[in-house]
Amino acid sequence: MTQSHSKSPRRFRREVGSWLFLLPHLFFFALFVVVPLVFGLVISFFNWSLLKENVFIGFNNYIRTWNDSRFWPTVQHTVIFAIISVPLTIIVAILFAHILKKKRFGQLWLLIAFVSPAFFGSVGILSSWKWIFASFPSGLANYYLNKAGFINYAVSWFGSTSVAWGVIILVTVWWIVGFSILLYLGALQRIPPEQYESAKLDGAGPWKQFIYITLPWIRSVLFFDVVRQAILAFGLFDQAYILSVGGPAGTTRTLVYYLYLVGFERQDFGRAAAISWYIFAIVLIFAVIQLVLVTKSIRSTEG
């Protein structure tokens, strides 16, 4: 008993010391993240527009969004997009990370080509992509596909839902894979090569090597990347807005697109806040599911 009494002040001092490390960042976090979130929560219960009297309307914003016939298809589109693009990006990233790991001639060029687009701003590169997937015959994709004999008419790339989504997924993977590559590259390079050598001696093929050696080592990075990608996927806006304009027939509208359409275009910030909380909830659920799946599958392969 006397021991616990003498331990508490020391423990308290130690904890204060630890908090001190956190405090500077926590201050900015509180001011620029917590306050806005609380603000967002509060105004979501109002008819809040900056231009006239703000009226308390309870859950009306949430109910209206729930009942809006445009909302749920948007959720569906975004979820399907996330389900496809997140694993795809991770697979591509791990693949490219393996390619970049080996020292070879002109490695810098490969690094630039695959990784740097992740650091370019959206407007410029989307304009370039929009040109590539233009609908007229001299659009780059149409022209070369035609020349190669794959098609003999000009494709309207955003004229059908599945093709439009295909293009969006392609452009998205191209754009964001870079950062993931760096993450996996860093993790891969920490794996001692002896482990691979001894596995080879034991007769393990590349796939087995990947599952039993590589995966465990990149586990925490994978965890991080899955969360990061899930969040990014639900924030998809630029491509849907600039490339396909939410079409055809609104079938490439994403959650953030909906947020812009019904929240910001109306300058109805209360509604925008309510929609954001819906997005938050959906992302959270999705990220948790993804994480559980990833952890389970890693654990199962570890046997």
**Of 138 and 297, which CB lies nearer to other proteins in the complex structure?**
138
Question: Whole-number minimum distance, CB 21 to other proteins, in Å?
Answer: 4
Which C-beta is closer to other proteins: that of 59 or that of 131?
Answer: 131
> How far apart (Å, rounded) are the C-alpha atoms in residues 236 and 47?
27
Nearest to other proteins of 116, 297 (CB atom) = 116
Q: Nearest Cα to 77, choosing from 222, 251, 236, 291? A: 251
Q: Binding marks (x or -) toward other proteins, 144..183, rule CB under 8 A?
A: ---------xx-x-xxxx------------x----x--xx
Interface region with other proteins, contact rule CB under 8 A, candidates 80-88, 108-116, 196-204, 206-214: 108-116
CB of 294 to other proteins, least distance (A): 14
d(CA 228, CA 284): 12
User: Which tokens hold the place of 113?
Assistant: 């080509």
Cα 119 from Cα 115, distance rounded (Å) = 8
Query: Which residues inside 245-264 make contact with other proteins, applying CB under 8 A?
Result: 245-250, 255-256, 259-262, 264
Is 265 among the residues that bind other proteins (CB under 8 A)? yes
Count of residues making up the chain: 303
Residue 19 sits in the site that holds other proteins (CB under 8 A): yes
Task: Confirm or reject binding of residue 98 to other proteins (CB under 8 A).
Answer: no
Q: Does 24 contact other proteins by CB under 8 A?
A: yes
Pure H helices in 189-259: 193-201, 206-209, 215-217, 219-234, 238, 255-258
Question: Segment 43-82, which members bind other proteins (CB under 8 A)?
Answer: 47, 49-51, 55, 57, 60, 64, 68-70
Q: Which of 71, 243, 229, 226 is nearest to 165 (CA)?
A: 243
Determine, following the binding rule CB under 8 A, whether residue 95 of this chain makes contact with other proteins: no
One character per residue 112-141, x = contact with other proteins (rule: CB under 8 A) = xxxxxx-xxxxxxx-xxxxxx-xxxxxxx-
Beta bridge partners of 46: 56
198 C-beta neighbours (distance < 10 Å), count: 12
